[in-house]
Amino acid sequence: MLPTTSVNSRLQGNGALNSRDAARHTAGAKRYKYLRRLFRFRQMDFEFAAWQMLYLFTSPQRVYRNFHYRKQTKDQWARDDPAFLVLLSIWLCVSTIGFGFVLDMGFFETMKLLLWVVFIDCVGVGLLISTLMWFISNKYLVKRQSRDYDVEWGYAFDVHLNAFYPLLVILHFIQLFFINYVIMTDTFIGYFVGNTLWLIAVGYYIYVTFLGYSALPFLKNTVILLYPFAPLILLYGLSLALGWNFTHTLCSFYKYRVK
């Protein structure tokens, strides 16, 4: 799951990669190692993963400074420990069940919603966004003098998970306390509170994604990843002017899904 591999740095005197070193750093080998650890909970560092989740809210730059440290010590940027993914999955399941409770769904409706959220909203959309960002970063953002480096898809998915976690907590946890008594009321305060939470959540996703790609020294012009802030703020303003409640739309969509 390395985001980058320097070909020149692995060359020996005869211009060939050491076979043992090359095998250890192939994408397949790294993927196998990561998936193997996914089923070995005792080998996961959940305390460190929880620390990262905390700092994704308070100081996401510190999380990516740790990515630099991992690159220096383990020669890879992306996580080699699936503990973060496991904790994120637990958060997703618990918050979705809470959403079903708030929306007064039955047991089977909540389970159906959980499957939709996990496999479509999180995994499916995550794969799509990660693939798009992987293509854009390699096609347009790699510096000309750094063509021996590339952003691998695994790192793009890792950045997506980092950015998705704050969005999940804001929209699937914090928002739950305001849905029935504030947000879903047909008042300006209702859609102002709801849409403001959406603005913060999506804005945070954009910002953490920007930090993830700007942390890679061989990329250029990563500031363009902040450009979606402009249409986001415009959409936010229009929603308040038109009385469009994002959360009401989401809840209606969730209920339609589980019919």
Task: Output the six-digit token pair for 181.
Answer: 């008594």
Q: Give the pLDDT confidence of 201-228 residue by residue, as tens digits.
A: 999 999 999 999 999 999 999 999 999 9
Spatial separation of the C-alpha atoms in residues 170 and 166, rounded to whole Å? 6
SS3 170: helix
Q: Give the pLDDT confidence of 148-184 residue by residue, as tens digits.
A: 778 878 788 889 999 999 999 999 999 999 999 999 9
From the list 214, 209, 218, the residue with the least C-alpha distance to 65 is: 214
CB 165 within 8 A of CB 91: yes
Per-residue CA distances from 257 to 121, 195, 233 (Å): 12, 22, 28
Exposure on the CB side of residue 112, measured as CA atoms within 13 A: 11
* Spatial CB neighbours of 52, under 8 Å, sequence gap ≥ 6: 63, 66, 84, 162
Confidence at residue 19, expressed as pLDDT on a 0 to 100 scale: 42
In this predicted structure, which of 17-21, 141-145, 156-160 has the lowest mean pLDDT? Answer: 17-21
Entry pTM: 0.85
Confidence at residue 16, expressed as pLDDT on a 0 to 100 scale: 39
Average pLDDT, the chain: 85
Instruction: Compute φ and ψ for 121, nearest 5 degrees.
Output: -65, -45
- Would you list the domain boundaries of the chain? 26-258
Q: Give the pLDDT confidence of 229-240 residue by residue, as tens digits.
A: 999 999 999 999
From the list 253, 214, 246, the residue with the least C-alpha distance to 232 is: 246
Q: Helices 153-172 and 83-102, interaxial angle, to 10°? A: 30
